[in-house]
Amino acid sequence: MASLIATPLFRRDQKNGSGTATPSTDPITSTPMRMDVDQIRRYDHDPRRNRNSKYAEIKASILAAGDQEDPLESPLVVTKRPGDPDPRYMVSAGGNTRLCILQELWKETGNERFKQTWVIFKPWDSECRTLLSHLKENDLRGDLIFIDRALAIRNVRELIREERNQDDTLSLREFSDLLRERGYQVSKALLGWYNYAVDVLYSLIPTALDNGMGRPQVERLRGLHNAFRDVCQAFGLGDDVDGVFAAVVSRNDQSDIDLDHIRRELESEISVSADCDIGRASLALGAALDGGEILVPDNDTEDDLDFLDATTGSGSLDDYGYAGNVGEASTQENSDDTEDDDGPELPSFGTEDDLPGQPSTTTSQDEDRVPITETPASSSVPVTSSSPTNPAEESAATDPADLRAQAWDLAAAIAADAGLSEPLSLPESGFGFVLLPEPADGHAACVWWQLANLAGQHPNQAALADHLPPDWVDHVPTFNPFHLASELYLRWSDTQWQSFTKLVALVRSIHSVTEGEPWIS
């Protein structure tokens, strides 16, 4: 019995003062143990650098479970790093948040049930595998922000280099293969995004990244970065392109970073440096983003209108980078990686049957709509006949109140889709709606101006003034007409475009049935 106790689970790796071995208290195999929570500490290289956003929710759940919670259902996994001066055990595979909560509850309540917890002790393997174990656990929960994962992956890379005793830089493919060998699969493309976030963006926009900015925004910024370089090179704008890009991005660092505003600032930088109008700069950057031809302005021989005629009067939209992809798709490394890199889906109103205040016009072909940017140039948007077929439709088509109600429904849906406030309803005059003044950028600004224009909402419309705050002119969003194509006409899906054209048709009908006097009740 003495020999059995002495050998199977415990090491004899410590020496006492007389030189004889004394048994370690650390098991040599995975072993369940009951342990004081104060004997355990967080993993010091925990990928999560900030408190879990669900901390309060998890704490309330543990507190509410009381004695009903099975302590062995989710035991902490702990280990101990050899030679660590801290005598405590540490979490080895996720569970840092749970440990902090248990320690906090024990300190706050003094309840004995929070003093100890069940753990699974696992002997130390390596720093790299311990960090990867934490990453795996966080991946299973899906609650680790992009920059935390990127920084942890960078840490893993350095640990692997130390293990291999090599100072040379690992290629993305080599690193991906080494991670796969250790049971953690990350594509080469995703490793590239992590590198860009850590090496380029984190020093420029730490606030945005630490507040959860994700991969889609990182990809879009990388696309803007590459496109800005291409345009500056084509225009011959000097060598400090990356410095200018860094300055623009860093001064826009905030928790809710506005990438549309960054794009407009880059266009302004191009416009000023190249001594061209903002329209040329916008077209050039848009073309570069989508892989189209960058037309270099010739300020000595062309004026602005000639330039616009040249770029819009011949060739296809593909030549200028607008038809292929509406968003700022990033330039990616050539890779055989099969990871899904689709960008965020564009907002949609749903099927045509969902449009408020409209009779159903959906056909069997409408069920398989594709975004308008993927529709061949020769196709057209279906046009619904305006000729009524029964008395009810005849009444709806000629009653101004009904037309205004339908117009408000559509305007409200379009405004909501763009993140704008609900329009005011004008059931007895005008075109049925007006927009409240509010700040807006990019897509929202274009939508605001289109709807305001349809509502007859302009300073010299005296009949409308009674329905608006007196200072509305001072609070309307700034507007660049060169963005209409890229922000609206090419971005909207077929259904969204149909909603807008139906609203235009309703405004025309109201103008017609009121004999051009919609503001006279």
Average pLDDT over residues 333-351: 37
Average pLDDT over residues 26-50: 85
Rounded percentage of the chain residues whose pLDDT exceeds 70: 67
User: What is the pLDDT at residue 345?
Assistant: 34
Helix (H, G, I), strand (E, B) or coil at 371: strand
- Of the ranges 130-134, 315-319, 370-374, the best mean pLDDT one: 130-134
User: What is the pLDDT at residue 71?
Assistant: 54
Average pLDDT over residues 440-445: 74
Average pLDDT over residues 384-402: 52
Contact assessment for residue 120 and residue 72, using Cβ atoms and an 8 Å cutoff: no
Per-chain mean pLDDT for the chain: 72
User: What is the pLDDT at residue 461?
Assistant: 53
- Buried b / exposed e over 465-504, threshold 16 CB at 10 Å, is eebbeeebeeebbeebebbebbbbbbbbbbbbbbbbebbe
Q: Which has the minimum average pLDDT: 180-184, 226-230, 331-335? A: 331-335
SS (H, E, C) 292-351: CCCCCCCCCCCCHHHHHHHHHCCCCHHHHCCCCCCCCCCCCCCCCCCCCCCCCCCCCCCC
Residue-wise pLDDT tens digits, 500-510? 888 898 888 88
User: What is the pLDDT at residue 483?
Assistant: 62
Average pLDDT over residues 217-244: 92
Residue 222 has pLDDT above 90, yes or no: yes
Specify the higher pLDDT residue, 41 or 389. Answer: 41
**What distance in Å separates the CA atoms of residue 119 and residue 300, rounded to the nearest whole number?**
77
| Residue 13, both tokens | 């790796």
- Of the ranges 212-226, 320-334, 359-373, 424-438, the best mean pLDDT one: 212-226
User: What is the pLDDT at residue 257?
Assistant: 92
Residue 269 has pLDDT above 60, yes or no: yes
User: What is the pLDDT at residue 298?
Assistant: 64
Work out the pLDDT band at 232, boundaries 50, 70, 90: very high
User: What is the pLDDT at residue 17?
Assistant: 45
**What distance in Å separates the CA atoms of residue 119 and residue 36, rounded to the nearest whole number?**
10
Contact assessment for residue 204 and residue 250, using Cβ atoms and an 8 Å cutoff: yes
User: What is the pLDDT at residue 397?
Assistant: 60
Cβ neighbourhood burial of 110 (10 Å; 0-12, 13-18, 19+): exposed
Specify the higher pLDDT residue, 90 or 295. Answer: 90
Specify the higher pLDDT residue, 440 or 98. Answer: 98
**What distance in Å separates the CA atoms of residue 317 and residue 360, rounded to the nearest whole number?**
33
User: What is the pLDDT at residue 317?
Assistant: 28
What crossing angle do the helices spanning 172-181 and 188-196 adopt, rounded to 10°? 120
Work out the pLDDT band at 53, boundaries 50, 70, 90: confident
Contacts of 285 (CB under 8 A, 6+ apart): 224, 227, 228, 231, 263, 266, 267, 270
Residue 23 has pLDDT above 60, yes or no: no
Instruction: Enter the pTM of the model.
Output: 0.53
Work out the pLDDT band at 295, boundaries 50, 70, 90: confident
Residue 98 has pLDDT above 80, yes or no: yes
Residue 22 has pLDDT above 50, yes or no: no
Average pLDDT over residues 219-229: 94
| Residue 134, both tokens | 């934490």
| Residue 265, both tokens | 């600032």
Residue 275 has pLDDT above 60, yes or no: yes
Residue-wise pLDDT tens digits, 138-196? 777 767 899 999 999 999 999 888 888 776 678 899 999 999 998 888 889 999 999 99
Residue 239 has pLDDT above 50, yes or no: yes
User: Which residues pair with residue 31 across a beta bridge?
Assistant: 121
Q: In order of start, what are the domains of the chain with their CATH numbers?
A: 25-143 (3.90.1530.10), 145-156+165-202 (no CATH), 215-320 (no CATH), 391-513 (no CATH)
Residue 115 has pLDDT above 60, yes or no: yes
User: What is the pLDDT at residue 195?
Assistant: 94
Contact assessment for residue 505 and residue 383, using Cβ atoms and an 8 Å cutoff: no
User: What is the pLDDT at residue 363?
Assistant: 35
Average pLDDT over residues 390-414: 71
Residue-wise pLDDT tens digits, 444-476? 878 888 888 888 776 455 555 555 555 554 555
**What distance in Å separates the CA atoms of residue 27 and residue 180, rounded to the nearest whole number?**
29
Rounded percentage of the chain residues whose pLDDT exceeds 90: 17
User: What is the pLDDT at residue 202?
Assistant: 96
